[in-house]
Amino acid sequence: MEEIVKVPKQAEKGSGLTFWQRTYVPEIVRGLKLTAAHFFGNLAVHIFHLLGLWTEHRGAATVQYPEEMRGYSSRLRSLHRLTKRADGSPRCVACMMCETICPASCIYIVAAEHPDPNIEKYPESFDIDLGKCVFCGFCVEVCPEDAIRMDTHILDFAAYSREEMIWDIHRLLNNEPRRAEGIGQIRKMK
Amino acid sequence: MMEGLAVAAGKVAFSLFVLLNFVMLLTWAERKQSALMQDRIGANRASIFGFTWLGLFHPLADALKMVSKEDFVPAGANRGLHAVAPFVALFFALISFAAIPFGDQLWIGRHPVNLQVIDLNIGLLYVFAAMSMGVYGFVLAGWASNNNFSLLGGLRAASQMISYEITIGAAVIGLVMVFGTINLQTIVHRQGELLLGFLPAWGVFYQPLGFLLFVTAAMAETKRAPFDLPEGESEIIGYFLEYSGIKFGMFLMTDFVETVVVAGLVATLFFGGWQFPYLYRDGFHLPGGGILVLSQQVVCVIQVLTFLSKLAFFCWLSLLVRWTFPRFRYDQLIRLGWQMMLPLSILNVVVTGGVLLLLHR
């Protein structure tokens, strides 16, 4: 047998408030107690910090960004870098896979003949226009040589002009990964 | 004659110094206190030669920014009134502090100096009158801007302040009946006595309901959250919409000045003003008997410091309220003022009158 659920025909309004809640006063005192507890708790922590005590306990949720950085997930897609061979030359063989798959058309490769016949080609120039890049990571997935990666954890590459946003092969090759891993961890920067 | 002028100038200078510095520190305290209440850090970047000092330079940076910004007057605005409005608002807020006593009589040699800028018999009425005059500044600002949103903001300011002024007046009538005077210095003197032998005879112990009503209505008078409907900077657009630069800064300053004035008024009326419990003109009268003798000047300094700490505490409380509660809806605000607070304050007057009649029969 099915259970019959009674649906109330009218919305209930204003019920559930007791007399004291409707007078505001006790609830106002409760709210003030809560915020004042936060105030004095944090004030105590900050005073301890000024005295050099209890510094492992953070007094605020704020991350002081240029001086401090949050940890990122290891699979975060950040600024690109080109990987190198043992002799320091780029692993890239200028196969044009990344330039082809790039949905934003932000990769520009000029190929040249490599002296080693086993490698065949190398990129004479390899520019990425970061002003266009959508950080989809297709170029990394499609690369047959593991020559391009997006694991530097560098996100602050803003520039003052569009030209400066175009990174050439030298900058991409010499991108030192910052590797700021560990979600929820906060690291001091130098 | 010259001595009297010098003393008066000194008192005005001290009073304005306290008031304006409190205002400047309040802009800092507002940021820092709200930050602490919300687990943040607060403004801490303004620096002079690398010193940040907990962000204490931010008020200075604000002032510099306000002064150097463009002073914009919209087309079609009434230029004269548009310029006058912030001055009207700030002026009346500033002068209302003058009647609040910040200390007892200080004896310099054989001359008594009353530590109060103007010793008026009608001190309480003067403060209320000056605070009510301030609303002209806001209505003028709204009207002179030639902008309908500003005009609506000015009207909201006017109706809110008129509604709550009545409650303010009615809430202190009970207190005036208890103390029998509206001279603020005398009211403070009367609060120096003891209730039941140990409790300082502060107004809040005589008039707890009057205190609650007065504080609520006075916060509405300062036009800060949860009563900031005349302003509502980011959403509902207030009377200073068409103001920029230092004129806008003056309106912001008016709010803080009013906060300090209200804090001083609450301290004076309900928390004994400059009275420190058990401290009299000749020193501490300990409750168990015995006197800790202090010189008159030391007593005076303690009293002024007591008043300043009470002022700071009530400013802190005002900021705590401002950063805890969300804004009222406008109909809730008016209903609270007319249907709850006004009847309660009249009830307070009636009950006080009945109790006084019974006690003095």
pLDDT score at A55: 81
pLDDT score at A153: 85
Average pLDDT over residues B91-119: 86
Nearest residue of B to residue A41 by CA position? Answer: B36
Q: What is the mean pLDDT of chain B?
A: 89
Q: Is B339 on the interface with A (CB under 8 A)?
A: no
Which residues of chain B from 196 to 215 reach within 8 Å of chain A, CB to CB?
212
CB B281 within 8 A of CB B103: no
How many CA atoms lie less than 13 Å away from B225 in the CB half-sphere?
Answer: 16
pLDDT digits (tens, 9 = 90+) for A70-118: 888 888 899 999 999 998 899 999 999 999 999 999 999 999 999 888 8
Which residues of chain B from 76 to 95 reach within 8 Å of chain A, CB to CB?
none
Q: Is the ipTM of this complex over 0.90?
A: no
Residues for chain A: how many in total?
Answer: 190
Instruction: Compute chain B's Rg from CA coordinates.
Output: 22
Q: What is the dihedral of CA A12, A18, A24, A28, to 10 degrees?
A: -110
pLDDT band at A1 (very low <50, low <70, confident <90, very high): low
Q: Is B302 on the interface with A (CB under 8 A)?
A: no
Residues for chain B: how many in total?
Answer: 361
Rounded to whole angstroms, how far apart are CA atoms B51 and B69? Answer: 25
Q: Is B191 on the interface with A (CB under 8 A)?
A: no
Question: Going edge to edge, which strands form the sheet with A166-167?
Answer: A107-113, A121-129, A166-167
CB B152 within 8 A of CB B231: no
Rounded to whole angstroms, how far apart are CA atoms B19 and B94? Answer: 8
B11 pLDDT above the threshold of 70:
yes
Residue found by looking up tokens 């709200």 in the block = B34
B226 cis-preceded (ω within 30 degrees of 0) = yes
Rounded to whole angstroms, how far apart are CA atoms B271 and B281? Answer: 19
pLDDT digits (tens, 9 = 90+) for A14-42: 667 788 887 788 988 999 999 999 999 99
CB-neighbour burial class of residue A86 (10 A; exposed 0-12, middle 13-18, buried 19+)? exposed
Beta carbons of A60 and B40 less than 8 Å apart: yes
A183 pLDDT above the threshold of 80:
no
Sorted by where each begins, the domain ranges of chain A are 7-62, 81-173
pLDDT digits (tens, 9 = 90+) for A160-179: 999 999 999 999 998 887 77
pLDDT score at B119: 85
Q: A183: distance to nearest CA of chain B, Å?
A: 20
Q: Which of A32, A43, A60 sits opposite B321 (nearest CB)?
A: A32
pLDDT digits (tens, 9 = 90+) for B194-251: 877 778 889 899 999 999 999 999 988 888 878 888 887 777 788 888 899 899 999 9
pLDDT band at A142 (very low <50, low <70, confident <90, very high): very high
Instruction: Assess if CATH 3.30.70.3270 describes domain A81-173.
Output: yes
Which residues of chain A from 52 to 81 reach within 8 Å of chain B, CB to CB?
59-62, 64
Q: Is B324 on the interface with A (CB under 8 A)?
A: yes
Rounded to whole angstroms, how far apart are CA atoms B140 and B81? Answer: 7
What separation in angstroms does the CA of B63 have from each of B25, B164, B223, B250? 12, 31, 21, 10
The contacts found for A174-177 with CB under 8 angstroms, 24 or more apart, are A175/A79, A175/A80, A175/A81, A175/A82, A176/A152, A177/A81, A177/A151, A177/A152, A177/A153
**3-class secondary-structure state, position A137:** coil
Q: Which of A32, A36, A42 sits opposite B39 (nearest CB)?
A: A42
- Residue A39: list chain B partners with CB under 8 A: 33, 36-37, 320
Range with the lowest mean pLDDT among B58-67, B98-107, B255-264?
Answer: B98-107
CB-neighbour burial class of residue B209 (10 A; exposed 0-12, middle 13-18, buried 19+)? middle
pLDDT score at B269: 93
pLDDT digits (tens, 9 = 90+) for B59-85: 999 999 999 999 889 988 889 999 999
Beta carbons of B324 and A42 less than 8 Å apart: no
**3-class secondary-structure state, position A111:** strand
**C-alpha closest to that of A181 among A96, A69, A57:** A69
Total-model pTM: 0.85
CB-neighbour burial class of residue A64 (10 A; exposed 0-12, middle 13-18, buried 19+)? middle
pLDDT digits (tens, 9 = 90+) for B121-147: 888 999 999 988 888 999 999 999 988
